[in-house]
Chain A
Amino acid sequence: MSRRGWSLAGPGVGWLVVFFVAPLALIAAFSVMPRGPYGGVEPGLTLEAYQRFLVPIYLTTLGRTVVLSLACTALCLLLGFPVAYAISRSGRWKTLLLVLVVLPLWSSFLVRTFAMIFLLRDTGLINEWLLAAGIIERPLTLLYTPGAVLAGLVYGFLPFMILPIYASLEKLDLALLEAAEALGARPVARFRRVVLPLALPGIAAGSLLVFVPALGSFLTPDLLGGAKQLMIGNLIQNQFATARNWPFGSAASLVMLTLVLAAVVAWLRLRDRAEELA
């Protein structure tokens, strides 16, 4: 039946090879070619695009991207775990609470980012209320700061953390917790030794689902960072949309893909170890 299998799978695989693999191979090739005088690429072989990356300015951009993504993941974990836990304990409200988490996931990301702008800018709602309440005299600069970008990232990706953790917590058998309590374990110990190990796969999955898109984000730092909090995604977009430095942009893309790959591999390792422990 392998033949039939391939005739069904052929179009899909072929499509992905042409429109996913080939483009990536192309930018891998471009990353080692010299830049044309007005942009684009010229035939040739050179590592100058990658060498250009190894300066403090771009390494800082890389660092900023990783730090913001890690901070976003940590905050999402902090905010998301209690929510996932509460949903798993909420009985008949479960469906409603879940829907309320899923809904923002599928709403337009652009619109949600604009909602943040609407709240945070100098003439935005938060400043308006604080001024009206007399708490401040001049508007606070909330927009175009690293905090705004972080807030936007957390706001955008929080549901991705909540759902996987909920999925693993749902399997928690309350009898286990009751048994632990009966055997004299304190709440913290109960949490650490019963709830946490079970939630670990969900935490790992949620962390991956937040960290990877955060690494690759473009819209959030673009709209909320004011062209000042550059992340790798903005750098790449800039190279192709304005600076026309295809090799450098391609090199930056491959660096970003390497980061993503590293994150996925780390997650796979973690998942395998979690399965060993369980």
Chain B
Amino acid sequence: MTTRIRPGVAAFVGAVYLFLHVPVAVLIAFSFNASRFSAAWSGFTLDWYRHLFERDDLLRATARSLLVGVSATAIATVIGTLLALALARHRIRGRRAVEALLYAPVVTPEVVAGVSLLMLFASVGIPLGLGTIVLAHATFCLPFVVIVVLARLSGMDRSLEEAAMILGADEIATFRRVTLPQLAPGVLAAALLAFTLSIDDFVITSFVAGPGSSTLPMLVYSMVRRNVEPTVNAISAIIVVATTILIVAAERLTHASPDGRE
């Protein structure tokens, strides 16, 4: 139901929305700016996007980010889904402790998570590289996967499963043919979420990265620090558009109806 909102409040709210979106919009707009140094518009060009594809290091960093993202997402999604199933469907002794353990990484500052992992790898003697990045990413993605899958599980209608079991299907068959298909959109949404988190991570990655394992955010960070204009605008624009698509897809999947499959 819509009620009157005073025009003053509406204007204020509009201003806040502008505050939220204008900076990035401007950034993207200026990725097409022909001038290299000034913030004054001097003509439209796609040069900076062309430059992106000439930069070997950018392409390799993107490939690494994708590789890390897929690997970390796979680990986090599998382990996280199992954990969510355990929490939702089974009695577990020490449930409270498990929940605390699960939500603790969410509130832990990234810097602390990053340095503590670095210290772990340094002490045990694991060489830093893409592998350590994957391990770190899987760790901070895990709680988010569990949260999303749990939400999906709690919204699911169990009567279908009960019906299947009454009709004679055993647990595994029920899981495979009734539970999993219903769960799939939630798992997929969790995976997309984990992937987005992994692709964007800078702080934790910068601590545990090793030789030749610069990911895209690390490269963008050094480009931002060195004012590599406006090529960095172009790569930023691509990142924003790509993550938007991923998130919209995840949102759609989260709201897909439970019996939409099969």
Contacts and interface: CB of A to CB of B under 8 A. Distances in A.
A–B interface present (Cβ within 8 A): yes
Contacts of A213: 109
Contacts of A92: 2
A11 B82 contact: yes
A6 B92 contact: yes
A19 B224 contact: no
Contacts of A236: 111-112, 115
Interface stretch (A51-59, A116-124, A190-198): A116-124
A256 B112 contact: yes
Which one of A100, A114, A132, A217 has the greatest number of beta carbons of chain B within 10 Å?
A114
B17 to A, nearest CB: 6
Contacts, number: 244
B87 interface: yes
Interface residues of A, number: 84
Nearest to B2: A91
A128 B39 contact: yes
A26 interface: yes
Interface stretch (B21-29, B44-52, B156-164, B181-189): B21-29
A9 B142 CA distance: 12
Interface string B161-200: 0000000000000000000000000000000000010011
Nearest to B119: A26
Contacts of B23: 112, 115-116, 118-119, 155
B111 A237 contact: yes
Interface string A102-118: 11101111111111111
A150 to B, nearest CB: 13
Interface string A191-215: 0000000000000000000001101
Contacts of B90: 1-2, 4-5, 8-9
> Main secondary structure on chain A at its contact with chain B?
helix
B151 interface: no
Interface in B1-54: 1-3, 5, 9-10, 12-13, 16-17, 19-21, 23-24, 26-27, 30, 37-40
A246 B85 contact: no
Contacts of B154: none
Contacts of A20: 101, 104-105, 108, 113, 139
B247 interface: yes
A16 B111 contact: no
Contacts of A271: none
A219 interface: yes
Given A86-B10, A236-B115, A237-B111, A13 B93 contact: no
Contact of A21 (B38, B101, B115): B101
A216 B26 contact: no
Contacts of B110: 216, 218
Interface string A206-244: 000000110111110001000000000100110011000
B158 to A, nearest CB: 15
A132 B41 CA distance: 12
Given A13-B101, A89-B5, A123-B38, A111 B240 contact: yes
B139 A16 contact: yes
Given A79-B16, A158-B20, A216-B112, A111 B107 contact: no
A83 B243 contact: no
A159 B21 CA distance: 11
A215 B86 contact: no
A277 to B, nearest CB: 25
B203 interface: yes
B68 interface: no
A1 B251 CA distance: 34
A128 B42 CA distance: 13
A13 B110 CA distance: 20
Given A15-B139, A79-B16, A123 B236 contact: no
Given A23-B117, A82-B12, A158-B16, 5 more contacts: A2-B90, A6-B93, A99-B251, A110-B220, A237-B115
22 contacts: A5-B92, A6-B93, A8-B83, A11-B78, A16-B102, A19-B138, A20-B139, A22-B120, A86-B10, A106-B246, A109-B200, A110-B217, A111-B27, A111-B236, A111-B240, A114-B220, A123-B38, A213-B109, A236-B115, A253-B111, A257-B108, A257-B109
